[in-house]
Amino acid sequence: MADVIQPPKDSFQSRIKARYFATRRDTVITVVFAALVAWVLWSLIDWALLNATFAPNAGDICREDLHGGACWSVVSTRWRIVLFGLYPFEEQWRSAIACAVMVAVAVLSCVPWFWSAKRLAPLWVVGFAVFYILMRGGFFGLTEVTEQNWGGLSLTIFIFSGTSLLGMPLAIIFALLRRSKLPWIARTMALVIDTIRSLPLLSIMFTFAIVLPFVLPDGLTGDKLYRVIIGYALFFACYQAEIIRGGMQALPAGQEEAAKALGLGYWHRIGYIVLPQAFRNALPPTINQFVITVKETSLVTIIGFFDVMASGRAASGTAEWNFAVIEMYVFVGLIFLVFVFSLSRYGAYLERRLGVGKR
Amino acid sequence: MPEPAIRIAQMHKYYGAFHALKDINLEIAKGEKVVICGPSGSGKSTLIRCVNRLEEHQAGDIVVMGTPLDDNVDNIDEIRREAGMVFQNFNLFPHMTVLENCMLAPVLTRKIDRSEAEKTAMQYLERVKIPEQAHKYPGELSGGQQQRVAIARALCMAPEIMLFDEPTSALDPEMISEVLDVMVGLAEEGMTMVCVTHEMGFARRVADRVIFMAEGEIIEQGAPDQFFDNPKNERTKLFLSQIVTH
């Protein structure tokens, strides 16, 4: 047997030279950009760390600070307002635990072991129940806190998970109806999807928050918060339905035919053959849709809820902190970054994992 | 006379205004092996796809194993369970392992428990000589291996009839014989088989009857010896000369 011939290996130095210093022009570009990056990084470190003020309640020091460093004091003073909004101060531990429970449930449902309706459903039911009991109170000697006073990060997380959990099954139903063999069902669904997609999210939120109570009988209105979540879910479902439909259309016709030829009924074909592959095909746009949804939750501020974004911005409305706008936005931005970035990384993991069986 | 496995009477199929199958009358006895051949576009695939309602016929009757093929979904599913089908492009489920492909339908439709279904699946995978591939995904197998898995998957439903829709047409030449060997073995065990194929060697060897179709009609049929050596219709002669001369 002949020896296996290895491709020649480049040394680290030769690779660097080939990529960044191959010609005189490359060298110039590399040097200029390296200098630029170094300058930006240094300015950032200088502002955010070296010249910054970290101690709480140091607004006066920040104002007199001539170096112009970041005033993280606004964050260390007001972080509880950002995370918990208008939630009563002494009860904020409840909001913190509720938030942690929700995040834990979300993380657990990302673990492959939980990927079946039998395990996911109880997990989320228990998660929401614990969240509600802790947040709302009124049971077990917990003082009652109405939805109007929920706020900050736990509100953002609640709206996001409520929207996804309601929106995803709805999206699947919409996508299936849109594909119905009966033309009037398919066309009606298409019309509904196109109509809702052509409306701005804001107008849908206003409709659900403010207009709906006039239309619905009193017993059915529920709290504004839940109506808004339903509005979000409907909006989410219309976009996600089209994403799922795209994933279904990418399937070769032979897949459904093979399932039919084996005698599998409609729901078996959908549940075992069509949807699993459609979701696989549609994974990148699905993650995209979730990311957009996380960020869109901050629109609830407009109808009077203090989500994490609004409670952060509230700082700039106070006389004490009206100068520290950037610092607060950076802090809130970092919170969003943690969630959205984890979501993106999880999406990348899923793509790798599900890619196993693919050609 | 016993009830035939498949009975097709005065059947017509249209695609819009196009008359794809014209007055098809055909009875296939239990245990019979029938090869359907003909030029492309002659309706041979459409014909066997009508038998398990992958295509809908517009007139006439189809009865499979005593069950009439009508708009009753239960009847359709019953027929599909009794008639296994093998496709030109294999159509394995790419997101499931070979074993899962074979177990899915028996577990879901026949309500067999998983360990039993797994035993059956392994037995058929051994039959098609690839038990060692059971835990691989279809994408990791060659075309010939995939088609053998597709045959095993259909057999796991314990069908009375096997329909083959050009099972070797998408294969590289060196893989055709491994698939044909499996099909010959199946024929020798007495399976009722309807094969749309251009493999005339296979037809001569196992078929009880060869059917020639053109333009949506059955033009000629007969035992292989008579069909190949002494065809009567001009179109049959032309077709045979075309496939033999290259």
Reported ipTM: 0.92
Q: What is the pLDDT of residue A254?
A: 93
Q: Which CATH superfamily is domain A73-354 in?
A: MetI-like (1.10.3720.10)
* A258 touches B at CB < 8 Å: yes
Pairwise pLDDT comparison (B38 vs A117), residue with the higher score: B38
CA distances from A215 to A225, A233, B60, B88 (A): 17, 20, 55, 57
* Least confident among A255-264, A349-358, B206-215: A349-358
DSSP calls for A36-92: HHHHHHHHHHIIIIIT-B-STT-HHHHHH-SS---BTHHHHHHHHHHHHTTS-GGGH
Pairwise pLDDT comparison (B133 vs A326), residue with the higher score: B133
Q: What whole-number percentage of chain A has pLDDT above 90?
A: 28
Contact between B173 and B12 under an 8 Å Cβ cutoff? The reply is no
Q: What is the pLDDT of residue A66?
A: 59
For residues A103, A109, A111, A116, the Cα torsion angle rounded to the nearest 10 degrees is 170
Cβ–Cβ of B109/A359 closer than 8 Å? no
pLDDT band at A358 (very low <50, low <70, confident <90, very high): low
Cβ–Cβ of A263/B78 closer than 8 Å? yes
Smallest CA–CA separation between B237 and chain A, in Å? 34
* pLDDT surpassing 50 at residue A252: yes
* pLDDT surpassing 90 at residue A273: yes
Among chain B, residues having any CB pair with chain A shorter than 8 Å are 52-54, 73, 77-78, 80-81, 83-85, 87, 89, 91-97, 104-105, 108-109, 137-139, 150, 153-154, 157, 163
Q: What is the pLDDT of residue A67?
A: 63
Cβ–Cβ of B93/A354 closer than 8 Å? no
Residue A320's contacts (CB-CB under 8 Å, 6 or more residues apart) are: A59
pLDDT in tens, A280-315: 888 889 888 998 998 888 888 878 777 788 888 787
Which of B137, B154, B157 lies closest to A356 in CB terms?
A: B137
Q: What is the pLDDT of residue A84?
A: 85
φ and ψ of B243, to 5 deg:
-85, -20
Q: End-to-end alpha-carbon separation of chain B, Å?
A: 43
Short-list A199, A143, A204, A158, CA closest to A306:
A158
Coil, strand or helix at B126: helix
Q: What is the pLDDT of residue B245?
A: 52
Q: What is the average pLDDT across A68-88? A: 81
Cβ–Cβ of A263/B85 closer than 8 Å? no
Cβ–Cβ of A357/B138 closer than 8 Å? yes
Which of A260, A273, A359 lies closest to B139 in CB terms?
A: A359
Low-confidence ranges of chain B (pLDDT < 50): 246
CA B22 to the chain's CA centroid: 21
All residues of chain B having their beta carbon less than 8 Å from the beta carbon of residue A353 are none
Pairwise pLDDT comparison (A359 vs A21), residue with the higher score: A21
Coil, strand or helix at B40: coil
Name beta bridge partners: B162: B84, B193
Q: What is the pLDDT of residue A359?
A: 42
**Side chain identity at residue B109, one-letter code:** T
Give this prediction's pTM: 0.85
Sheet of B18-28: strand order equals: B18-28, B6-15, B59-64, B67-68
pLDDT band at A357 (very low <50, low <70, confident <90, very high): very low
Cβ–Cβ of A263/B89 closer than 8 Å? no
Cβ–Cβ of B52/A261 closer than 8 Å? yes
Short-list B94, B120, B95, CA closest to B107:
B120
Cβ–Cβ of B80/A260 closer than 8 Å? yes
* Least confident among A145-149, A183-187, B30-34: A145-149
Q: In chain A, what are the domain boundaries? A: 73-354
Distance CA B59, CA B19 (A): 11
* A264 touches B at CB < 8 Å: yes
Q: What whole-number percentage of chain A has pLDDT above 70?
A: 96
Chain B residue with minimal CA distance to A271? B108
Contact between B51 and B7 under an 8 Å Cβ cutoff? The reply is no
CA distances from A317 to A118, A312, A323 (A): 48, 10, 10
Smallest CA–CA separation between A247 and chain B, in Å? 14
Smallest CA–CA separation between A359 and chain B, in Å? 5
Distance CA A244, CA A275 (A): 8
Distance CA A82, CA B245 (A): 83
Q: What is the pLDDT of residue A356?
A: 47
Name beta bridge partners: B193: B33, B162
The number of CA neighbours under 13 Å toward the Cβ of B145 is 13
Cβ–Cβ of B91/A277 closer than 8 Å? no
pLDDT in tens, A150-168: 878 888 888 888 898 899 9
**Side chain identity at residue B158, one-letter code:** A
* A102 touches B at CB < 8 Å: no
Contact between A150 and A98 under an 8 Å Cβ cutoff? The reply is no
* pLDDT surpassing 80 at residue A52: no
